[in-house]
Every structure is written in structure tokens, then in C-alpha cells.
Amino acid sequence: MQEFCSFSLNSLKSWLEQSGEKSFRAPQIFDWIYNKGATSFEEMTNLSKPLREKLAASFRFPALKLIRTLESEDGETIKYLWELADGQRVESVLIMSGTRRTVCVSSQVGCPARCAFCASGREGLIRNLSTAEIVEQVLHIDRTLKVKGERVSHIVYMGMGEPMENYDAVMESIYLFNDPNAFHISQRRITVSTVGVVEGIERLAKEELAVNLVLSLHAPNQHLRKKIIPYARKYALEEILMAMDRYALETKRDITYEYTLLAGINDRSQHAEELTRLLSGKQCTVNLIPYNPVEGLNLRRPTKEAIEGFRDILVSAGITTTWRYTKGKDIAAACGQLAVQKREPLALVSPV
């Protein structure tokens, strides 16, 4: 059985024609799923009963089952744990800031990067997510927001997994998010984060897209980066930065470099000074992320003074720098933390 949310509008039209149905039904079906919030084909009352039965027999929808949600004490972050058809689990996070409603989506079960500070890669890569399994993370959250007169406004591929290692499904999901018949989210409000898969970055530069690209840098040199990100051994840092520069040139988009600050490891003044030399002359932003503690990992968050000192060195060198305020610490909102926990019910549970 095929997953409905893996189909583009054109592929659905083709399926309808091959099934002896009229292709003009495709936009109507999309409208039910993506705008009216239908949870089954039976609800699509402007379709004939035989067509509804054919759809139900041919497509799996939904592909995700909500296991639990956790809401932060400030009410600005909600974490969702989903179960897939094969029993695997992934997470999404809804971050509310002003009028923004950003969903952080996962692209894989587990992660091959095995970053030292991240819970997602502790068990390595288990499998890629399908297009539908990515899309439905946003679809189901968007449905809950619409009840309040809101909608998902931004999407970031920064959850579990390395998006560039699941390239085709990630691209198909981006085109669906951008499709006016589905979510109609601007490409400029979609961000893809990578640890530096050079082939993926180069492929993305050739797409007819202008999404934001973020590199998980986390170190100012290859030697230290390999310790923090074992996956970094596959590509030289210079090669990755060249690919990022080519992406910026092709798309006319500024690049963001994410730098998770780990106490005593990569947060010293000499690291900041080396980082300024590495990024000198580049049209970019450095997003500093104070480490969000993960149970079982012997890593510490730097002091506020250390963070400010690191930032000041970058700013003094003329590098645009932001400092990400950590949200959702009370609900283990860093990617992977909830999915790797034991499956006993948690204290904060609320249905969608």
C-alpha cells in the first residue's frame, strides 16, 4: 500500500487517470487533506463512494501515529513523538515565537553523524523516512494550529537524521511544503541543516529552490571537528566550505553556520579567533547554540560569560552572530532525546 502524502499533485493526477478516474479530482483530494484537515478518505463528501473506497484501499493515510506530546513550562515549545508503521519512532518539535510557528522535522530514524552532543545518533542510523513520514509531521501539527486560527509558518530540517543522506525524500517533501495546493510555505521559510555532505550540497545548489542552508560546523578546524562529529572524517572541512560557498553563489542566499558551544571543548577564545579566520570574508551568519544537556552524555554547557566572550570576538571581527536562546530544556527538546528514552508513559501527556 502506498503512502498518500508521498504523492505530489501531478503524481496523484497520473494515478487517478491510470485508475480510470478524472484527474481534476486531485486538487479536491489535496484540499481535503492539506486544507480541510480530513483524517480519512471517507470524509471527502464531494467524491463518489466508489472513489473514496478505491483511495482507502490504495493509500495508507495517516502514516504516523501520535504516541505523546510534551509541552514546555512556558508553553512555547511542544514536542511530538510519532510511531511509524514498522514500530520505529521519530520526533518533531513545534517552536512558537511571536507570530512564527516553526516545526523542526526529522528526516531519518536515528542518525549516521553521531555528533558527540546529540541524542539522535547514539544508536546510529536505523532507516530513512519516506516523504509521507516527513510531510505528516508538519501536516498533523498544522491541523492542531488551524483550530486556533494559526498555521505552520516555517520548517527546519534539524530534527533526527542527516537530511542530505535522505536527499530524494527530503526534496519531495520540500516541494510539497511549497506547493500552493498543499502547504504553500515559502521556500525562504524552509531551512535544511547538514553536517556537510558535499554531494548533497552540490545537488541542492542545482535544484530550482532557494531554501536556507545551514552547516552544523561546531569546530574551527578539521581535527577538533572530527572529535565532535565523527561523520566529519568523510569530508575535509575546506571541501565542505567550498561547497557551501558555491551554494551561496548559485542561490544568492546567505549561509548560516551553527556552532554548538561545549564547555572546555570548543568554547575558548582561541577557538573563536580561529573561527573568525576560517570565515573571514564570507557572507554568512554564525548561530551560537549553548549546549542543551542530554542525559548520559558527559558534556557541559558553557557559562554565560564564556558564551558572551566567544560572541564578542566574532562580532569584533565583523562576523554577524546570533545567540540561540535554548527552548524546551524541561521537555528534552533537543533532537532525539525523547525517542531514545524508554517507552514507559511520561509525566506530561496530552492528546492532539
Alpha-carbon span 27 to 347, nearest angstrom:
42
Q: Transcribe 23-37 into DSSP letters.
A: TTHHHHHHIIIIIS-
Name residue, grid cell 486556533.
148
- The alpha carbon dihedral of 211, 266, 126, 159 has a sign of negative
Measured in degrees and rounded to the nearest 5, phi and psi for residue 289 equal: -125, 105
- Chain position carrying cell 487517470: 17
Degrees to nearest 5, angle at CA 347 with 343 and 350: 90
Catalytic residue selected from 91, 133, 162, 165: 91
Helix (H) or strand (E) holding 101, with range, is strand 100-104
**Catalytic choice (104, 115, 118, 335):** 335
Q: For residue 42, which phi and psi values (nearest 5 degrees)?
A: -65, -25
Catalytic, 335? Answer yes
Q: How far apart are CA 91 and CA 170, in angstroms?
A: 16
Catalytic residues: 91, 335
